[in-house]
A and B are shown apart, each in its own frame.
Chain A
């Protein structure tokens, strides 16, 4: 896991309000060479939480980054190289990320952080409960409209699927009925058919 990833991740356990930045528990850090791309670094610079990056690089034992940084420093080759090294070349191979609020350990093994939550850590409330305990913030104007719009877009997609499916199914069912009628008229024993297959 590179520090760029660390800079993006937070603990999303229910009830945690500020799960960023995650503390780093270091077991093994490796350095991997990455080609320096100034364009990419410039692209990323504005999106990075600088303080979190500096603190994280300290926990890896890298103290070259300045405490403060602004976009003008990107013109300096030296700064770019340090930024590049901290952001992309230092890898946490084994260790863990620790939620600052709850102390929950997200293990990092073979360089892959495991951010999946346990059952009791994600919200499992029903919508009714949500409405009573956590109403949609009324202070935001236009929420009703935005919501309606959003619902429209998604449900349209699923309605499309359902509609075509119904059509296909009903057609198949009709064909099946014709086929059944034809076959039962003949002298042969009607073949055994599974009605459920056609209706389900």
Chain B
């Protein structure tokens, strides 16, 4: 069954991935069938629509699944059963009239209440214009009562039109009008409730609430599942997963963050308490480079979601000490009387090593079919992302990569991977050797994978950039693509 799926016009890359993940969660695709189809859906664009348009048709097995997806999602404005569409109102009328009566009548009877919303993409309609359009729908035999606050059925009349300038929105070739019955839509009230500025305990790289929910959706967080974040910090990512009922667990190398926070009412626990969420099952201080899990432990977590430190806004740390890893000093022995309060030294943790450790940990600790969801930074060149050399691991299949642009120099990509094959002895051994090589070539990796210099190095000299900037400047605002 085809449904019209209308998205909020933001985070363009994340929209389809979210719906596909949720459809997997609600059983739209055959779970037994672990092939390429299992993680994707059939999509169709309305005629003449730009791929970035918020209007998409999606094929889902039932209305019930469509409703569940829409209500749980963050980016779906609404999922609709389309009764008619057309380039003009005459065409729309024809189309609605030809829609089977038996599918319309149950929603038009005199016992029910209804409401009609008029919406347009790319321009605002005045109250009079909205009323006019609503009255033009009098060919539909509505028998129910109007109820604006709490209607049984909501109908939407949506219009896209080329209004001269497109204000940075996707270009529109031709006017298109849709009329349909709403099946469900995202609860965007979550976002102001969970927004970071209301959070008591924040760190410099706390994850935005909307993004945390998207990550939780990608990870298929539901009650009964255990979700782990190895770089938990202030817990901002786990808050999203906990909201959807998953049990959470987090580790961080910085003990001040996980243990102390900023006092008894301002720490990771209080961030969960604030929203009435169940507390994380465990918080611990551990080094992702030397995880403390027992030898036989595997396939423990249902999902791992994290935002690893990529060394741009915050750098990672691991056990070891700079000088130790350089080989400038040999490993020293901590005197016995100083052991109890000894603070072990740490060294910078390069992104590559961090991702290696993350993939190794995830391949071991995730259940089969479990998901690894994490951000990976990508350097941008001018306006396009050049390469997509995302990390690979033989236990994992990449199912979605969604870009979020952070600056003209770099963006981050949310990678969602599914564990498709078990962790074997060979993989463990290979990872152990690699781990030692990272130790050996500590400095080289740190240098090669250093994003900080690429992102923050001084900009091009003023004159050349200025000249080009002026020439290429168009008086009309152009389509901004993913910079929404």
Instruction: Provide the residues of chain B in CB contact with A149, threshold 8 Å.
Output: 394, 430
Pair B391/A1 contact, Cβ less than 8 Å: no
CB of B308, distance to nearest CB on chain A (Å): 12
Instruction: Provide the residues of chain A in CB contact with B458, threshold 8 Å.
Output: 197-198
Q: Beyond A9-B294, A161-B449, is A114–B285 a contact (Cβ under 8 Å)? A: yes
Pair A179/B463 contact, Cβ less than 8 Å: yes
Pair B352/A157 contact, Cβ less than 8 Å: yes
A12, A32, A116, A200 interface centre (most CB from chain B within 10 Å):
A116
Instruction: Provide the residues of chain B in CB contact with A49, threshold 8 Å.
Output: 294, 296
Q: Beyond A20-B295, A112-B255, A164-B386, is A136–B224 a contact (Cβ under 8 Å)? A: no
Pair A20/B294 contact, Cβ less than 8 Å: yes
CB of B287, distance to nearest CB on chain A (Å): 6
A119 to B331, CA, bound (A): 7
Pair A122/B319 contact, Cβ less than 8 Å: yes
Interface size on A, residues (CB 8 A): 84
Instruction: Provide the residues of chain B in CB contact with A119, threshold 8 Å.
Output: 319-321, 324, 331-332, 334, 344-345
User: Which residue of B is nearest A179, CB measured?
Assistant: B461
Say what secondary structure dominates the interface of chain A: helix
Pair A120/B425 contact, Cβ less than 8 Å: no
Instruction: Provide the residues of chain B in CB contact with A2, threshold 8 Å.
Output: 281-282
A109 to B427, CA, bound (A): 36
The number of inter-chain residue pairs (CB within 8 angstroms) is: 243
Q: Is residue B290 within 8 Å, beta carbon to beta carbon, of the partner chain?
A: yes
Pair B294/A143 contact, Cβ less than 8 Å: no
Q: Which of A2-44 contact B (CB under 8 A)?
A: 2, 4-5, 8-12, 18-21, 32, 34-35, 37, 39-40, 42-44
A105 to B334, CA, bound (A): 14
Q: Which residue of A18, A152, A167, A175 is within 8 Å of B460 (Cβ)?
A: A175
Pair B457/A10 contact, Cβ less than 8 Å: no
A190 to B97, CA, bound (A): 76
A47 to B247, CA, bound (A): 15
A171 to B464, CA, bound (A): 12
Q: Beyond A116-B285, A158-B448, A160-B389, is A47–B463 a contact (Cβ under 8 Å)? A: no
Q: List 18 A-B contacts (CB under 8 A).
A: A5-B281, A9-B294, A10-B293, A10-B294, A32-B279, A34-B278, A37-B247, A40-B247, A43-B224, A47-B297, A109-B259, A116-B319, A120-B333, A125-B436, A127-B436, A153-B393, A161-B352, A161-B449
Measured CB to CB, the residues of A under 8 A from B are 1-2, 4-5, 8-12, 18-21, 32, 34-35, 37, 39-40, 42-44, 47, 49, 88, 105, 107, 109-120, 122-127, 130, 136-137, 140, 142-143, 145-147, 149-154, 156-165, 167-169, 171-172, 175-176, 178-179, 182-183, 197-198, 200
Measured CB to CB, the residues of B under 8 A from A are 223-226, 247, 249, 253, 255, 258-260, 278-279, 281-287, 290-297, 299-300, 302, 319-321, 324-325, 327, 330-334, 339-340, 342, 344-345, 351-352, 355-356, 359, 376, 378-379, 381, 386-394, 409, 424-427, 429-434, 436-437, 439-440, 445, 448-449, 451, 453-454, 457-458, 460-461, 463-465
Q: Other CB < 8 Å A-B pairs besides A113-B284, A136-B433, A145-B426, 9 of them?
A: A9-B284, A12-B290, A39-B223, A118-B342, A119-B321, A119-B334, A127-B439, A150-B434, A175-B464
